Structures are given as structure tokens and as C-alpha cells.
Chains A and B, each alone.
Chain A
Amino acid sequence: MTKRIELEKIVIDKGDEIALANRRMIEEAGVLALNLIGSPGCGKTTLLEHTIAALANPADGSPPLRIGVIEGDVQTTLDRDRIRRAGAPAAQIETDGACRLDAAMVSRALTELDLDELDLLVIENVGNLICPTGPKLGEHLKIAVLSTPEGDEKPAKYPAVFALADAAVFTKIDLLPHLTYDLDRAAGDCRKINSRIRVFPLSSVTGDGMDDWTGYLRSARAGLVAEHEAPGRPAS
């Protein structure tokens, strides 16, 4: 005799067990994790180099924050080497063709970093504005990165990542005089798609707008630490 039974539903790409385990491990070390998503060449690594420097030596005298980076690329360790030269520990994931990172890849890369020596962990996803949108890696914040030369209509044309992101960074605003790019349109569309999104127009090379961005990271990290130390939090 046989019977048909219906099993419980299975979530495939969001909040899966590996992503949750990554996040737990990262959080236990008091580290805030970001998942940085943007097209190839939008300036993710350059943004990180300058963010590392700005948080290591804050101009306003606030305490420094230590960043560690997991770099995702189809091949090479070029970006890992750039981050190390900028003074931060880094691990490289070479995806060998895959168009995005997944939680298992991040889990392996985490063994190369000493989380106890970090305050922030940035996972720089494979350069791609579409495919990395879905999978959770264990991050606290999803950050969409868009450069001005890509065009102001990109949030409207590729809305999913902006719908799910906590913040959008518009890089290369120093190029605005040379472009027909409407910053208000790009920012406006982001906010239409996602009214809770924080928007940070900046230039990594001139430093314009960097203070708002690093301030955001600083307060997000402080929020995480406060949440962890809050009285009444159930012991885990």
C-alpha cells in the first residue's frame, strides 16, 4: 500500500541555513556585514579602498573601524591584492564562471579572515546588477552601487536590487560635468522603488559625499553592537 504525502515547503535562495550560520558567526564577533552589489566597473573596489582609509583614520576624531573584505570575481585575485594594499585583510572568491556569490562560497572564505580583528565585513559580490540580487550571504545590509556613467535610468530598468537594498551608493559624481546624468532622477526612482532606501551620491577619488557614507556605516555598526549588548536580550 502506498500513500502520497506532502512535505514542508523549502526556501531555496533566501535565509537558507548556510546564510543564517554565516550571519550568526559574523554577528557573534560584533561585526556588521555588507553585501555590495553593482555592475563591473562601477567602482565598488575603489569605494572600498577609500572607505577603508576613511574609517581607519576618521577626520572627526571618532574611533577607527577595522574592515575586512571578501572579494568575489569570476577569476583573479587582483581585487584582493588591491584591498590588502589599502591596508585591510581580504579573501578572494574566484567563482569560475558563476555570475554571483552564494552563502556556501562565503562560508569557505570566512575561514580565511579573523572576525575578532574586524568591525565591518564587506562582501563585494561579482560585478553584476541582476544575478546577485536574490541570494542572502549572511549580510546585515544589502548595498546597491551604481556609477554615474552607467546612466540615471538604471534604477528604473533594473529595479529588483534597489527594491531589496538598504542603501544605494551613486559613485563617480566627480564625472557629472561631463555626463548627461540627472542625479535627482536616479535618486528619485530609487526612492519610488524603495521608500526606505538611503541614497549616498559620492566620489571616492575627490572624497565628496564620503562622510555621509562612512557615517552611515558607523551608525549601522553601532546599532548592531547596541542591539547585542542590550539588556534583556536572550542569551544564545
Chain B
Amino acid sequence: MHKESDIRIPLILGDKSYRDITDDIIRPIESKAPKGWYILISLSGLFALWGVGCIVYLLGTGIGTWGLNKTVEWAWDITNFVWWVGIGHAGTLISAVLLLFRQKWRMAINRAAEAMTIFAVMMAGLFPLIHMGRLWVGYWVFPLPNQFGSMWVNFNSPLLWDVFAISTYFSVGLVFWYIGLIPDFATIRDRVTKPVAKKAYSILSFGWTGGAKAWNRFEIVSLVLAGLATPLVFSVHSIVSFDFATSVIPGWHTTIFPPYFVAGAVFSGFAMVQTLMLILRKAFKLEAYLHTKHVEYMNIVIITTGSIVGVAYITELFISWYSGVEYEAYAFLNRATGPYWWAYWSMMTCNVISPQLFWFKKLRTSLTFTFIMSIIVNIGMWFERFVIIVTSIHRDYVPSSWSYFHPTWVDIGVYVGTMGVFGVLYLLFARYFPVMPIAELKTILKSSGANFKQGYGHGAGYWDKHAHHDHDDHGSHHESHIEASVETETVPPVVADPPVVENTEEASTEEETKNEEE
């Protein structure tokens, strides 16, 4: 371990010890659930039941209960599918890509973001299955020997690629998440006293012991899984975009789709993480671990990916004209000025214009503003998919088949229902699972904890003793200097700040950042 530059803002505020980290993160599991939790889960449960009811009605009656017609044969179902998959991109990105880049701030959000990913991908997977109309033969998408002769699935089809991509993504994400959870379940197992909880967590923890070799393996498994998940996360949304890009529909068959979809997915995923985490940190009093700086980092990702998405929209528009293909040109002109202009301009406002407000430091460090923005971005990203899908096909080649899509109550019900199911799953996760990686947070306490960095409380004098402790990593010392010098350009130094003990309330962290600016 080497001393982190003083310029870097501590990731763990207050005066925390290892014990405090365990206590803070397990507290919501050990204590009684607050009233708000019961209200939220009942509400989500109701929506979920409504959604299940709609799905049952749809399966019993047929896809005709959706507002689809012979021109718009793909609408809300695929829009919702892509929307949910997109949301499901932040978790793996945070845990895999940021792990490879050794971004320590990811530890505040990775566990909850991965949970979000897994639940979101579940919701996404539901839509193609429902759209088959016969949910019970959903397994036909896999290449299984069957009674119809040599009837194999088509490996040339992007829809099959999607099957493999989504199922691989889901199962690898689940394994990655669970491997990280095992040591934390062990921590809970060794603390809880109620017999049922003890039994449950001891089964969930798989008998984890925390020996040196086990930790050595843990770190390598995390690293290699991150290495595998990184190309996976990019491949998944690329393949989702192939569903459109490999077709010959004007407005769909553009080569820009894969990078544009991936950026969009990260964009919406981070927005959803913001929405959920801003509530979670407040409800569980985890402000010391996830504070304004973390939110700002996430907002920087949002502005970057949001700008990539913006450039992609404009490139698409330009190329449609520049290509000289009149169908292509019309498809895009029709998007912006046709009957769906309102969807196009909602998308443009929410995804391109509004994230640019994050260039202002005041706004990107404001938690209230971030929360509002995160919801705007998610609305915008839903419209993006809607615009791509519906507006590209609603005006067919023959004007007699031009049409307009109206969602029915089943369309809306299924969509709202998936949000309900997602909410139920997420609330259960938040109640019974450790929402932050306890073990991993402990590894960064000494290097990034406020008390250790500024030398007070538990960390008093630590770095005076240990600064010259390691002789083996001069290379990383050097690196940290470079990082520090880059950082100074953007972040004003806060070296002289007095130690902020127990000063972790939202308002005070905001004040803190205001002071920094001055």
C-alpha cells in the first residue's frame, strides 16, 4: 500500500474503523425495516401484480392486445427490452471496467449497481419471451435436439446472438456478483444472532473462511472475471444494436449503432444507479461511503456518454442526408418533423441538451439536481429506443400502410409491471443483502479514508509511521504523482480542510464542496 495523494478527496468520510464499516453496512439488515420500506414494497408489489395480470391476459388472448399493427409490428415490447438491457449495463461496467482501471470509488456503488444489472436484465429478458406469444416454449431459442427433425436455431441471426449474449451476460453477472457477496455473507453470518438468519446466511456464505489463499484466489477471480466481463458488456449492447443494424430498414441499418448503443446504455445505466443510490444512501445513512464526490464522478461518466450519444444522433442525421439515399434521408427527416416529432424532441432535450448542464460544477455536485437529471435521462433513453424503433417503421414504403402506434392498457401495464417486479427485487436486495462490499471497502480505508488521509481519529499518525514502509513499489509512487498533477487542474486542493468528523449529512457535504470551490 502506498500513500495516496492528499489532493485526492477521501472516499470514506468521518472517522471509520474496520468495525464501523461492518456496522454501518449491516445495520439495515440487523435492524427492523423502516416504514418507508414496507410502503415501497407494497406499492411495487401492486404494480408487479398488475403487470403479471396483464401478462397472463396477454398470453391468454394473444399479442393482439398490444397496440401493434401490420406496419408497426415492433413497439413498446422491444423498446422496453432495450431500455432495461441498457440500464443493466452500468453494473458490470462499474464492477468490471472500473476495477480494471483501479477506480476505488466504484466500491461505494458496485454491489448495488450489479444487483440493479441483474434485475434489469431479468426484466429485459421477459419482453422477447412474452412477444413469442407462447411463453412456455421459450426454451426453443436454445439449440436443443428436438422432435422436428434437424431443426436447429439460426446461428447467422442477430436474434440468436442476442439470446446467447443476454443469457451469458446475465449468468456471468450473477456469478460475479455472488462471488463478491460470499465474504460479506460470511461477515453477516458471524454476527447475526437470530437462528433463522444465522442458518440462512451460513448457507448463503458457502462456508467462507477468509484464509490467505482464499483471498488470493478471490482477487484473481475478481480480476479475471472483470477482464472477461469488460468485452462482454460491450458485446452485449453491440449485439442488441445488431438486431436493428443488420436489418434493411431505413433508420435502422446504420453502422454507427454498436458504439452508439453501448454509450447510450452506459449513460442510462449510470442514471439509474444515481436514482437508486441517492435514495439508498439516504435511507440507510451511508452518506459517509457515497458522498458528493462519488456522485460527481458518476455525473462525469453521464456527461461523457451523453455527449457521445449526442454526437451519434447528429452524425446519424448528417449521414442520412450525405448518403444521398432518399429513403434514409426521409426516415430521419420524418423523425424530427413527422408525426412523432414530440418523441424525437423529447429524446433530444433529455439526452443531448440536459446532460450538458453537468458542465457546471455547482450542478453536478448538487444531489437534488442529480436526482432530477437521472430521471430525465432515463425518460430520454426510453424515448431514444422508441424513436429508433417506432418512427423508423411507422411509415412504410407504401403510403396506404402508413400508420400510428397507440399503446393499449396492456402495453402500459406490462411495462409498469416490470418496474414493479424490479422494485420488489431491488427492495428485497436492499433489505437482506449487504448493499456495499464490506470486505472491499475495508481494503481502501487506509488509503482513502478521511481519518487516515488527514491523520485524526483511528488514522492518527498512521501515514507518518507507514509512509516509508514499502520499498517495493517505487513505480506506483511515481504514478500517483502523475495522477495528482492531472487532478489539480480540475479539483482545487483541500489539504488544509479541518477533519470532518460525523459531518456526513447531505447538506454539509454540499456545503463542503461549495467551500472547495471558493
The yes or no verdict on A and B being binding partners is no
Binding site for B on A (CB under 8 A): none
Binding site for A on B (CB under 8 A): none
